[in-house]
Every structure is written in C-alpha cells, then in structure tokens.
Structure 1
C-alpha cells in the first residue's frame, strides 16, 4: 500500500472520530473512536499492520511531540492561576488524591507498574500518555502501552457524567441560595511587554514553528546535559512556560502556526501507533486493571474533594467537579460549563451568570490537571517503570 493511501486512511479515521466527538459533545471522544475503528480494522485484516509506519507520519509525529509539549507551556496563564488559586489547589489535590490511591492499591495487589502508568494518565490524559509511552516503547512494554491507551480512552466516560451531575447540583444550589456568589467580578489584565518579546514582524506561522523547535531543541540538549534526570518532554513543557513568560514564545502559540490541526493529528497517531500490534488477548488482559484504575481513581478524587471543600469553604459538588476535570480537560470543561448554564438557568441573565461562574473555574482546573499535574507526575513516574 502506498504512503499516500495509508495517510489518507488515517486522516479519514481521524476525521470520522472527530465528527463523533463533536456530535456527542465530547462524551465519546476522538481517541476512543479511533481506537475502536483501528482495532476492528487490524483484527479483521481490513487494515494492514504497517499502516502507521507506512504512512510516514509515525517518526515525524515522534519528532513533533516536543513541539506540542513546548506549546502546551504557552497556554499557562500564571496571572490567572494566581487569581484562581483556590481552584488550582483543589484541582491539583484532587488529582494527587487519585494518583496516591491508584498507586497504593496497585502496590497492595503487587501490580506496581499498572499503578505507576495508570495514575498519571488518570490525573491528566494526553500529555502524561505522551511522556509515558515514549519511555515504555523504549523498554518494549507492549501490555503496559495498551493499558495506558485504555486508561486514556475510557477515563472521560466515567469523569464527564460525575462532573456533570456535580455541576448541575451546584447550579441549582446557586440559583436557590447562592446568588451572591454569581456576582463575582472578572478582572481585566493589562498586557505588558516582556524581556524577549519580538516585534510583530516575527509573528508568522513558520517563525512561530521555528521558535517552538528552538526551545524544544534546547530542552533536548539540557536533558542530555543532566543525563536524562528530567525527561526531555517534561523539560519541553517547563521551558515552554519559561520562554512564554519571557515573551519569546507567544501565548497559545500553536494556534498561530497555521498547523495546529495537523500537529494534533500527528501526535494522536503517535499515541495510538501501538494499536497495530495489540491483540484481543492483550486487550482482555488489561480490562480488570483498567476497571480498577478508573474506579479507584474516581474514589480518590471524590474523597480528596470532600476534604478540600471543607478546607477552602466551597461546596462539595464544586470541588468534585474541579477534581474530575483531570479526566477530560479542555474543550469539555468549556462545553459542560455552557451546557449546564443553558439547561439550568431560567432566564438569559441566570444563564449568563452561571456560565461566568463555571467557565473560568472549570477551564483553569482542567488546564492545571491536564498540563502541570500530568506532565510532572508522568516525568516522575517513568523512573519507577
């Protein structure tokens, strides 16, 4: 099969999966649909085993992962995180609670690796999966790679319904006796020039890509210098934050490269490439660890959220919703906030107030867990595989 046909097949599968995700408002996400379609194709023989490698995107996708992690650092708004400090702490503690319980149960049943891999992915998703898969492929851990994909694929199926239920209860509470909380003001931040900020002449798609490449390459060089003590991809994320704060990298720089869609496609293919070598027996062997990880992780978030709710004087429902954002992240955090506001508010004023209340909190919580927490947890976890 020619490379262009292989690439086209992958693009069509990705496009169909994205359509399903949009139609279901993210409940059935892109990764889940791609995984199901790809596995059906490989197991029935419709798709060739070398589909990913033959398309030519697998190796390029691995090279592009560093740029993606670097760009992720430019989405971190430190000023907003300071303003929403309670949300940040509640979300981080919720994710930590899930990780601690998952690892504790895994050690208890003498399945350490399942806990080490499952915990960071449950607490963050794609970013953690990228870091862990990179390490597991180097060690040829096929079963754990399949398990990692399974956690990534199914975590939002349990996270979204719980967060939705919690947010709906919180919305009813606010409308009944918490309307003063809906009046909180949103402060406007005045942008200021940063030390390494370049002129608008340098704000072009290819220059932005080149800047991402430079910072990713610097991260790789630094990782070699410290003998891999900190994983290269984790350093990409850290330096992405630093060079964004210095002004060298623009905020949300990936959106300005005119290639974010293609890069997202390539990185997704990298995550799912191991599906070609996944057998039905391997999938069956990870079902029980997957179920345990999802249930235990959810219990960890809920228990921790009950404590943080009391500690920071917020409702249990809001704390649980913030904690569960680790299982789905953006844009589902935005979609849920908008849908809950639209379906719960009786008037346009109430709907707008609810959306203004939920949106910044949920987006901030999802951003913190899916980026900061997951990348650092994964970078720490790979030392114990």
Structure 2
C-alpha cells in the first residue's frame, strides 16, 4: 500500500467519524465510529502498519503529544487549577469504585489474577497496559498478557458513547439555566479574558508582532515541553512523575507568566494536524485486537468493563453529591479513565458544538465542562493508572 493511499484511507475514516458525530449531534461520538472502522479495517484488508505507512510513526505521535498537552495547559490558569480540587477527588473516587467492585464482585466471577491484570489498564493508558502485559507474560500468564492489551484497546467503546450521553445532559441543563437568566456568564471567563490581555506574551512586549511567527510559537511550545521532560527525568530517581503531567502544569505556568499565549498551537496553525496524528496513533493500537483474541477473552472483557463502570458510577455519584457536583459531570470526569487525552477534549468539544451555535453560550459550556474533563483525564490515565500498575505487578 502506498503512503498516499494509506493516508487517504485513515483520514477518510476520521472524516466519517466527524460526519456521523455532526449528523447525530454527538449522540454517536466520532471516536466510537473511528475506532469501529479501524477495528473492521484491521480485521479485513488494513496492513498492521497502515498508520506508520501514512506518515505517522510513534515518534511523531509522541512529539505531538508533548506539544498538545503543553498547549492544553494554555487553556487553564493557576487559579482554575486550584479550583479543580473537586475534580481530583471525584476522579479518584471513580477509580476507587472500579477497584472495590472488581475486587469484590469481579473476583466472584473470575479469578483474582484476572482482576489484578484488568484494573490498571481499565483506569489508564498504554503505559499501564504494557506494564501489566509484560508482568503477566513473565509470570507465564499468556492469555492475561493479551487481556491487558485488549482491555486497554476496547475500553473506549464503552467510554466514548457514555461520556457523550452524560455531557449532553449536563450541557442541556446549563443551557436552560443560561436562557432563563439563572446562570450568568461566569466571572472567571470575563476575568480570564481580561487577565489574558494583560498577561499574554508580556515577556515579549519588546518583540514586534511581525516576528511572532508560527515557528516562534512552535519554538516556545517546544522549550516548555522540553523543560517538562527534563524535570521529569531529573526527578525520576526520587519520584516518578510523568513528563506529560508536567507539560500540562508548565503550560499553565508559562501562560500565566506571559511566555506562551493561550491556544498557542491553534495560533501556529498546527492544532488540527496534531490532533489528527494523535488520534491515528491511538487507533493504531487496535491492530492488537485480532478476531481470535477477542473471541477468547470476550466474556471477561465485557463483564470487567461493565462491572467496573457500574462501580465508577456509584462512587463518583456519591462523592459528587457530597461535593455538590452534578451526577452527570461527576460521572463524565470519572469516565475519562477509560480513554484520557485527547478523547476527553474531542468529545467535550463535539458535545458543546452540538448543543448551541451561539458563541457566548459555547464559551460558558466550555468553561464549565472542559477544565474538569482535562484535569480528570490526566489524574486517572496519566498519574494514578501508572502508580496502580507499579503496585499491582507485585501480585502476579
């Protein structure tokens, strides 16, 4: 297969996902459609390296992940991060719900080792899945080694539509409040806009605007991302902190101090390409799930995801009620554990765009829903899942 043919095919799938999401007003998320089509493709005529042939090797995807997450940090402020403590508590409660119900109900249906292998990939990303897969293989548990990868690959099929459903309910409630005059434009939105005008690029006031080129924007994003990577590397002997977590934090700090402008990647005309490449990299993981593999583990796979999501819902709903956060928003934040970034960003924006065409209303919905979804995704997928995997490998 030629490079251009591979590129046309994979981008065509992304386009189909967008069309379906638009036509169904995000009731069927594009991520779900794309994942289904990629899976079907791998089971029929796709070469296993179609994404790489199309021009997106893992090294490119990793680079863009650094830039995208740093750019996500520019959407938040230090004050907003402090306000997200409820999000952190809810995200952790959702993970606790998964652990509790799988170690109680789950072990009654399956064995203890299956649940040990299942939990970290279920609440995390590729790193935790690989850790558990390698540990199971070393322990001679070949089927569980495969199970760890497949549960990571397939969990999004449950997470994508559920997240879209609960976010639409949350968004509709907010819009009703706005249109009845019960909910005004958040002061934080106006304050943030005013602050942005004062702070944005204050370190480069001396620089004529004509020199703030696309390359200069990429250059500054790269510096912040590299600094996050460097700090993570230095801290590794003392404490293991994902460089991606630091990218988010340093993106926030760099924007607050005027080193980065908000939405730097969008202003550098690179955001669309970066999202495209990262989505393709994620769907590339579906090549692991062969039909025979799926048939072998289909029952524990479905049961584990269903039971885990039920536990997640119960715990997040209870904690959300205590913290006075709607059950829809609390559940949506917890569901980020099933996919993380960039799916949390993409699904949230799809839902917001489907609910209203008014730019002011979209800004209100974005300020309410996007920050907790982003923070929730990083807490669950990037941080907690890796910690859990490091602990759980000792039980195999």
Is TM-score (shorter-chain normalized) higher than 0.5? yes
The reply on whether 1:22 has 2:29 as its aligned counterpart is no
Deviations 1:39-97 (A, max 9, x none): 212212x2222312322312322332222222222221333456xx4xx3444333222
The match for 1:193 is 199
The match for 1:67 is 67
State how many pairs are aligned.
Answer: 356
TM-score (norm 2): 0.74
The match for 2:279 is 268
2:89 to 77, 87, 93: 93
1:320 to 320, 323, 327: 327
Partners of 1:133 and 1:271 within 8 A in 2: no
Deviations 1:220-278 (A, max 9, x none): 23333233722232232232222222222221222112021111111111112122232
Separation in 1 of the partners of 2:123 and 2:375? Answer: 16
Structure 1: runs of 5 or more not aligned? 121-128, 343-350
TM-score (norm 1): 0.76
49-58 vs 195-204, which moves further: 195-204
The reply on whether 1:152 has 2:156 as its aligned counterpart is yes
The match for 1:42 is 42
Secondary structure of the structure 2 residue equivalent to 1:251: coil
Q: CA deviation at 1:357?
A: 7.2
Separation in 1 of the partners of 2:328 and 2:229? Answer: 36
Separation in 1 of the partners of 2:282 and 2:229? Answer: 20
The match for 1:348 is none
Separation in 2 of the partners of 1:184 and 1:383? Answer: 43
1:293 to 291, 296, 305: 305
Separation in 2 of the partners of 1:352 and 1:9? Answer: 33
29-38 vs 133-142, which moves further: 133-142
Q: CA deviation at 1:180?
A: 7.6
Partners of 1:131 and 1:234 within 8 A in 2: no
The match for 1:234 is 245
Separation in 1 of the partners of 2:118 and 2:347? Answer: 27
Q: CA RMSD in A?
A: 3.7
Structure 2: runs of 5 or more not aligned? 138-144, 336-342
The match for 1:376 is 383
Deviations 1:313-339 (A, max 9, x none): x4xxx6112213324744654665676
> CA 1:94 to 1:57, structure 2 compared with 1: closer, same or farther past 3 Å?
same
The match for 1:346 is none
The reply on whether 1:250 has 2:257 as its aligned counterpart is no
Partners of 1:90 and 1:305 within 8 A in 2: no
